[in-house]
Chains A and B, each alone.
Chain A
Amino acid sequence: MAATIVAATSATQRLERPARLRYAAVTIALAVVLVAIGCLAVTVGPAGISLDDVVRSVGHHLGISGVAAPPVLADSIVWQLRLPRVLTAAAVGAGLAISGSVMQSVTRNPLADPYLLGVSSGASLGAVAVLVLGFSFALPPAAFVGAFLALIATLTIARTGGSLSTGRAVLAGLAIAQLCAAGTSFVIFWSAKGDSYRDILNWLLGSLAGSTWDTTLISVTALVIVGGLMIVMAPRLDAFAFGDTAASALGVNVTATRWLFLGAVAVLTGAMVSVSGAIGFVGLILPHMVRGFSGPSHRRLLPAAALAGAAFLVIADTAARTVFDPRELPVGIVTAFIGVPVFIVLIRRRKVGA
């Protein structure tokens, strides 16, 4: 019997090793691709910027000695416009992909996305309210407050006697999302005029056009702190594969874990929505694309999803601002145009909903 086990152990190790190597290889490749795409994205646009200009501008601002100062115009395009936008896109893409992966696991629903708890609708209501009032400078805080209030409302409705059922949370989120959507429509209907319409539409569909170093700071900070926390805690999600009772029987405190993850998803998503609006499909589709090579372990899934989401949104946003130049599309339209066909392929290959 011992011999059989040894034989079986080495057999599974043979099968396992390529899978782990492949995960490591794909993850490193994703990181390299992300950096390369980020650099290229900064060069793409109506004004021609060379890779050399990008390197010199970044080196100059980071105070690296021996870097020749870049041309002034190229420098301000790189440093003031494109670099913060690419970094914000990367952070938002990573945050949405992590949030989507976690929501799908916590609710055990392959169609879950980061906006399931009404967070994006609450943020939209807050954002549209300040846009209509003409206080667009207050947009990120207003969106964040909206997201946070929507989350509190959802969880208060879903909560029963200290425990939290995901079924009720999803339904409560739906109700709050509908209410906020109605509120948003009401505000637009009564008070929007002229230019604010385009601002509002841009925001509702998701756009990174307003990116600055402030939005970079907000999104990167949220990603590092809240996204990092979720990656560290990720192994607890593995225990939910067979549901709540099974997780509890495996020694996980189900209610505490669920509050922690739902709260973290809401804060991270709220921060992302506050800088970019509700960009769809990243949080829904990226987790499914990544699971194919990362496997079910959340410690592997979440970092890979973050890298893939970042690269995906940088590509989508670069397309959004260049393809119909000089007009710019809201990036949410591009993510849907790319995301939906990919999702259909995944469904046909039975990676989703099998």
Chain B
Amino acid sequence: MSILIDDASLELDGHLILDAITAELDAGAVTGILGPNGAGKSTLLRLIAGIERPTRGHVMLDGESVHALRRRDVAKRIALLEQSVDLATELSVIDVVLLGRIPHRSGLLGSFDGPDDRAVALRALESVGALGYAERSWHSLSGGERQRVQIARAMAQEPSVLLLDEPTNHLDVSAQLSLLAQVRHLGLTSVAALHDLNLAAAYCDRLIVLSDGRLVASGTPTDVLTPELIRDVYGAASDVIRHPRHGGPLVVYAMEGAISAQHDPRRDPLRTPQPSRV
């Protein structure tokens, strides 16, 4: 399912949060949204999910306006993973995944989860490798396990589009890598707001970059991630080199002010300076 964002602007309390964004997100591709804090990444995701309504412009899903559809019909097509959600009550993992079946239940009588819903929920847990902890309490899970279960919850919605808001926040390195590999493996039209430029380069087919609510770049990671763009948008000096494994761009920050192990042996006793290079 392809997504067309057509000249969409959003104003909240007199502030222009998104300013005339136009972008086409390809069906079946993983698109990364980059940009500094407050650039409008989360708002753009909420706009695509139909939760925020644009003050101008449209968001089209395969030619249909998201905001003209009923909420329940949107929820059958688009799943949203928020960043760091908390849970007020005690729920087991399977209960959390079953929440994803809510848009598929019918009105009054469909209020209990039937065997079909359970089968879908279990398949979703299986697909993210979380079947083993289906009966555990949500509160007992680690951050990485929670994100897997959230993905399973989103999969139980059986959506065509998966939106992820900083899904790798608070995860350790291996959980970050396996989560994004998982998202690629699902093969859905996915849109992820990301902070880590190198994760974005490695796991996204295309990138769009927001700054102050405006779209400042879009294209493949190689096209988008240049030292100039990173300086302009993030104010950080960097070099972009070729990744030794996957061949895509790899951002190496200049990191001014960082300690220099080579010139101060007291700080790093394992590495003795090479006299010939000093």
Contact = CB atoms under 8 A, between A and B. Distances in A.
A295 B91 CA distance: 8
Interface residues of B, number: 44
A291 B46 CA distance: 33
A167 interface: no
Nearest to B88: A108
Contact of B118 (A12, A105, A245): A12
B72 A251 contact: yes
Interface string A236-250: 001101110110111
**A-B pairs with the 7 shortest C-beta distances?**
A251-B75, A235-B111, A251-B72, A251-B103, A108-B88, A249-B80, A242-B85
A299 B111 contact: yes
A291 B90 CA distance: 9
A263 interface: no
A296 interface: yes
B99 A241 contact: yes
Interface in B46-103: 46, 49, 51, 70-76, 78-80, 82, 85-91, 94-96, 99-100, 102-103
B131 interface: yes
A232 B111 CA distance: 9
Interface string B7-36: 000000000000000000000000000000
Contacts of B108: 232
Given A108-B88, A242-B85, A5 B99 contact: no
Interface string B94-132: 111001101101001011100000110011011000010
A8 interface: yes
Interface of A: 1, 4-5, 8-9, 12-13, 15-16, 105, 108-110, 232, 234-235, 238-239, 241-243, 245-246, 248-253, 291, 295-297, 299, 351, 354
B71 A296 contact: no
B142 to A, nearest CB: 17
A75 B35 CA distance: 79
Contact of B71 (A12, A238, A248): A248
A252 B51 CA distance: 10
Contact of B99 (A105, A232, A238): A238
Contact of B95 (A1, A250, A251, A296): A296
Given A12-B118, A234-B111, A249 B85 contact: no
A8 B111 contact: no
A296 B91 contact: yes
A235 B105 contact: yes
A245 B51 CA distance: 8
Nearest to B70: A251
Given A246-B82, A296-B95, A251 B122 contact: no
A245 B102 contact: no
A249 B102 CA distance: 10
Given A250-B99, A299-B112, A5 B85 contact: no
B102 A239 contact: yes
5 contacts: A9-B119, A13-B118, A235-B105, A249-B78, A296-B91
Nearest to A297: B112
B82 to A, nearest CB: 6
B91 A241 contact: yes
B111 A245 contact: no
Given A296-B91, A351-B90, 9 more contacts: A110-B89, A232-B108, A241-B89, A242-B85, A249-B75, A249-B82, A250-B100, A296-B90, A299-B111
Contacts of A251: 70-76, 102-103
A12 B85 contact: no
Given A1-B126, A4-B126, A249-B51, A15 B111 contact: no
A268 to B, nearest CB: 20
Nearest to B13: A161
Contacts of A234: 111
